[in-house]
Structure 1
Amino acid sequence: MQQLAIFGGTFDPIHWGHLLVAETALHQVCLEKVIWVPSLNPPHKEAALFEHRMQMLQLAIKDNPAFTASLVETNRSGTSYAINTLIDLSACYPNTQWYWIVGLDTFQTLPRWYRGHELAQMCDWLIAPRLLGGETITQSKLICKQVEEQFRKQSHTIHWQLLNIPIVGVSSSLIRKFCHERQSIRYLVPESVRSYITNNNLYSHKSE
């Protein structure tokens, strides 16, 4: 049985932090592949056009044969829900042990996701800890255990582990802010992504 991970998100834009998380997951649990799935219609936020976000993603991952971008979200209309993504990918990749890569803040909201209790048991969860603002690994583990307990109270199980990643103080919102303020984003994103943002004048007109 092959081991694959889904890395979903807005990726608005993709940055070195995302890539570091995916690379860590790849080796920490011996994955064959990380499937990047940019949200077509994120349910809680506005984002740059899907075509722009997908193009930046493909530029960023093209040199890593273990990374692939999926267009699975374009096969349906309406709001993007994680469980639909997993069901659709399972049809494309049978006989698979699935993992899902998420940040700690996102993992905390899992019990409130659409069909979240069902999804929680369909894959193992790889969690990027929140190490900024004085957070520690111990605190991150405690938060994950609290989420696990929420599921247990409703007779659901969930398997998770923290990813052992170094601190990277970069976020998509910071990059958008820097673009809006005409500050340099060199070394925050791959150079190919920086050039794409510049050439397409992304994020310069408003701060999100």
Structure 2
Amino acid sequence: MLGLELRKEFKGRRLKGTAIELTNKNKTGATQVSASDFLKITYPTADVLKTIEAVGPNQGHPVTLKGERGQGKSHLMAMIYHAFTDNAATSQWLSEWGNRLSNDKIADLPLRSGMAVISESLHRQRYKFLWDLLFEQHPHGDYCRGKWESSGEKKTDVPSDEILLEMFEHTPTALILDEFQTWFDGLTNTKQYPCRNWAFNFIQVLSEIAK
């Protein structure tokens, strides 16, 4: 027996919403609580373990989580966030579940370390362009924004791979974007404001330099 128990929010007379938010104004979002608290409500399902493996060391590619609303994509993103930001708590969680399930492969899953983690729920519409998010939150972002914006006539519509590589070589970064498809589909794409094309090009550049 695994000794699983219902979470407290399921034990009351009224069932409150249990949807996962990465952040909220009350500072109780999935990425705002401690890793240990979040991991208490996380179980090593096949999707969770595959996601951890997909973003592990030497996995040089972007990862896309697809599925209908309510299938746990935001929970997986929060899991990734805590795996990056608190290796110790995540390793302990993997070890404990590996022992409970008598599965050494769970305990031995490798984790990435030494990365800045930038996460955003894009449906909140806090950023007009994705590069604004990176420039604002990355430790080397202000410098790279200034370098790009001061390039005069050579300034491109989208930050170049050279600008981004300089930023990420300074501090390796994991970028976690929730509700990306909703945000992308809502972008204007006129001849005067081809925002969707710019976003597509920017994501393409990020994907090509992902390591």
Q: Same fold (TM over 0.5)?
A: no
Query: Quick check: which one's helix share is greater?
Result: 2
Larger Rg over CA atoms: 2
Give the structure with the larger strand fraction.
Answer: 1
